[in-house]
Amino acid sequence: MKKTNIVLLVVIAVAIGIIVTMVGDFSTYETFATAREKEGKEYHVIGTLDKAQALSYNPVKDANYFTFYMKDKVGETRKVIFFGTKPTDFEKAEQLVLTGKIEKGEFHCNKILMKCPSKYKDDQVAMSTKQM
């Protein structure tokens, strides 16, 4: 076998190894149960705010400590601790995506993404009722 063929095979093998490593790092949306299985590993959990439970945020005492309860996509409710300020219009969010990990039975969150209601939703309902 020629040396160029061997070098080419090594380069291809390294490229495949890099691609496989990168694909393993892509995150998907998980549930609290998955995060609980591997406590300490960071996950993205998608769900909704549990409005039956109380929110706790006191900016005078600690502006970077916010707790609430979230229900994941399979229905498990868990206490979430966010070390940051409470997002604006948090209660109006239709859906939440949290990035964090389970520690001592609580989900410690370092990032919150909110899906808020569409500002055009009411306009669409009003237009459909006018057309009838």
pLDDT tens-digit profile of 15-33? Answer: 888 887 766 555 578 888 8
Structural domain of 61? 28-118
Q: What pLDDT score does 81 carry?
A: 94
Calpha distance 110→69 (Å, rounded)? 15
> Would 95 be classed as within a structural domain?
yes
| CATH number of domain containing 111 | 2.40.50.140
Span 29-41, average pLDDT = 84
| 47 within 8 A of 73, measured Cβ to Cβ | yes
Span 96-125, average pLDDT = 81
| 99 within 8 A of 110, measured Cβ to Cβ | yes
Q: Check the CA dihedral 21-23-26-31 and report its sign.
A: negative
Higher pLDDT, 109 or 20: 109
Q: Is the pLDDT of residue 71 over 90?
A: yes
- pLDDT tier, 89 (very low <50, low <70, confident <90, very high otherwise): confident
35 contacts: CB under 8 Å, gap ≥ 6: 41, 43, 45, 101, 102, 107
